[in-house]
Each structure stands twice: as C-alpha cells, then as structure tokens.
Amino acid sequence: MIAAKPILEAQGLTKHFRTGGAVSQRVVKALQDASFQLYPGKVTALVGESGSGKSTTARLLARLYEPTAGQIIYAGRDTVEDKGRSKLLKYRSEVQMIFQDPFSSLNPVHSISYHLKRPLQIHRKAQGRQMTEKVHDLLHTVALTPPADYTPKYPHQLSGGQRQRVAIARALAVEPKVILADEPISMLDVSIRMGILNLMAKLRDEQNLAFLYVTHDLASARYFADETMVMYAGHIVESGGSEELTQDPQHPYTQLLLSAVPDPARGLRTQETEIAGEVPSLSEVGEGCPFAARCPHVMSRCREAMPPVTRLSETRWVRCYLFDEA
C-alpha cells in the first residue's frame, strides 16, 4: 500500500532525562526504542495521555532535544550527528514544528508581517519586494484574506484560530517537507478546530507534506490522520491505519483508551469498564511492558521484558505478548 519512500524515519529513538540532584538522581525514560516512518502526503498521528512521551518524540524529531540513542533518518540519511548552526538550519528548513499554544508561540511585540518575514530572511527564501509577495501568498494559503488586513496586525488582535493559522503560515514559509504538529488544536474552541485540521489536510494533499500529528484526542486522529500510533509510558505500543486502529483496537491499552473516550455517537451511555490504576511514573518504568501492572491479560513474561513488534498486517503492528507467536 505504501510504495513511497519515507521522508523522515525514527530508528530505535530513545530519550532519557536526568532529574534530581547528586543525591537522588533519577532517570526519566521519556521515550524508549521508538521506530516509525513519516511519508510525503500522509498524516501520522501519535496519540497518548499526558506524560506518555508524545511531545518528546516531536521535539526529538525537531532536533530541539538530543536523543539518548537511535537514529533520525531524513531522506535516507541519519541526521543525529549533524550538529552546528548551518547543518541544523538546513534540517529545520525541511522539518518544521507547530506548537500547541498560539498565544505563546507568537511574539506579542511583533506584527504578523514580522513573524512571516523572519523565517524568509533566516533561511534566505526571499528578498526585497519578493518578500512582501511571499508573505501575502502564505497568508492566502492559510486563508487569512485579504492578506493586507493581517500583515500590520499584532497577535493580540487575532483570535486563537487566526493565530494558529499564522503559526502554520510561519512553518510553511521555509517550504518544509515535514510538519510536526504538537496538539495544534487542543487550545482552540470546538467551532474553530475543524477549520485548522481541514487546512492541514489540504496542505498534506496539495503540497504533499508529511505530518506528525501529536494529540491526546483519538477521535481527531481518526478524522485527520492516515496512520495512528498509540503511546503508553514512553513506548509506542500499537500502530496502524487510523480507521482500523480506532474501530478494532488490538493492544489492551488501546482498548482501554478507546473505551474511556466519551462518544455520544456510540449510544446513550458507554459501557462501564473496570479501569484500575494510573499511568506509572516514567522514572519507575522497569524492564517489562509498562502496561503490565494495569493489564487485564497480564502474563509473567510481560513483567520481564518489553514485547517485540508483532506485525499483524503490512500496515499494522502491536507490541504485546498476546500476539507474539514465539
């Protein structure tokens, strides 16, 4: 089904943070051994609860954090060893990030025009009169029209949805191939959200962009993403086509997560599910499957080692001993 080559790929990507002082040093295992691919013209969702490591993953791919281990392969080449301003600048013109909060990701003392001109200058994408033209094109692309109405404005003069459109336009300014969107709609009002998701879907289709869509909202992943990966306590535990995964979840955690989402379309009341326990602290995650302590199907080997990837189909895999033939 997927014939194209991945544009961005994570291989065994791992990030540990050291916290605490000299006496009580702890290691927070924010991301462990994550491998996945992003494809041009595809949206891949990364879904999980807070603290599951999904934002860490996006920030690693944006090279805002240094990975503890693993590879970040862009267009077939590992970029983890690329350091220094010019190499990172090149990478960042290809891989752009959109943040959750459009109130803090734009600078209140600068105009919209300034926000869009800066990346054009830094990445030398346009000069002089061309610059204004390019800014107007960008505003057109994100449907802030007529552009001249928006360029002189300041962030506080725009609504949340308009601000997020500016943030998207800014990401597009450098003509990226990959956009890492970290909860891009969760701060916005319900009536505004679909406009932003539809805009990003249009960019995926028209500009063949690859998206990583980080979200806690499974229903929006079903709506917007082609593929969905589910994270729990630093591990990606299941991955597959969004429709398949949300309609027929395989991993016990995915099943738990889906049963917890309020869904009026499902009927008057959701079935009462027995949900015990809470997400473990990331500094206390042991060797085994992190979900073992809460899993209704737990077996002794679940506590010993993280299950390997079991492929269920060409596009679907799960990390759970229930599916491990060996």
Site string for another protein, 131-170 (x = CB under 8 A): ----------------------------x-xx--------
Token representation of residue 310:
């079991």
CB of 24 or CB of 86, closer to another protein: 24
The upper half-sphere exposure of residue 256, i.e. CA atoms within 13 Å in the direction of its Cβ, equals: 22
User: Least distance in Å: CB of 243 to another protein?
Assistant: 7
Interaction between residue 42 and another protein (CB under 8 A): no
User: Least distance in Å: CB of 16 to another protein?
Assistant: 22
CB of 123 or CB of 294, closer to another protein: 294
Out of 11, 14, 118, 195, the only residue in the binding site for another protein (CB under 8 A) is 195
Strands of 227-232's sheet in order across = 95-98, 178-182, 210-215, 43-47, 227-232, 235-241, 317-318, 310-311
In the region spanning residues 71 to 90, those forming contacts with another protein, defined by CB under 8 A, are none
Interaction between residue 257 and another protein (CB under 8 A): yes
CB of 118 or CB of 216, closer to another protein: 216
DSSP string of 229-268? Answer: EEEETTEEEEEEEHHHHHHS--SHHHHHHHHHS--GGG-S
Out of 192, 293, 309, 322, the only residue in the binding site for another protein (CB under 8 A) is 192
How crowded is residue 254: how many other Cβ atoms within 10 Å of its Cβ?
Answer: 25
Q: Which residues contact 245 (CB under 8 A, 6 or more apart)?
A: 228, 230, 238, 239, 254, 316
CB of 209 or CB of 257, closer to another protein: 257
Interaction between residue 283 and another protein (CB under 8 A): no
Question: What is the per-residue burial (b if ≥16 Cβ within 10 Å, else e) of 198-224?
Answer: ebbbebbeeeebbbbbbbbbbebbbbb
Q: Which residues contact 195 (CB under 8 A, 6 or more apart)?
A: 161
User: Least distance in Å: CB of 103 to another protein?
Assistant: 12
The upper half-sphere exposure of residue 208, i.e. CA atoms within 13 Å in the direction of its Cβ, equals: 5
Out of 27, 131, 219, 293, the only residue in the binding site for another protein (CB under 8 A) is 219
Out of 18, 83, 90, 266, the only residue in the binding site for another protein (CB under 8 A) is 266
Chain residues binding another protein by CB under 8 A are 49-50, 159, 161-162, 189-195, 198, 216, 218-220, 222-224, 243, 246-247, 256-266, 268-270, 272-273, 275, 278-279
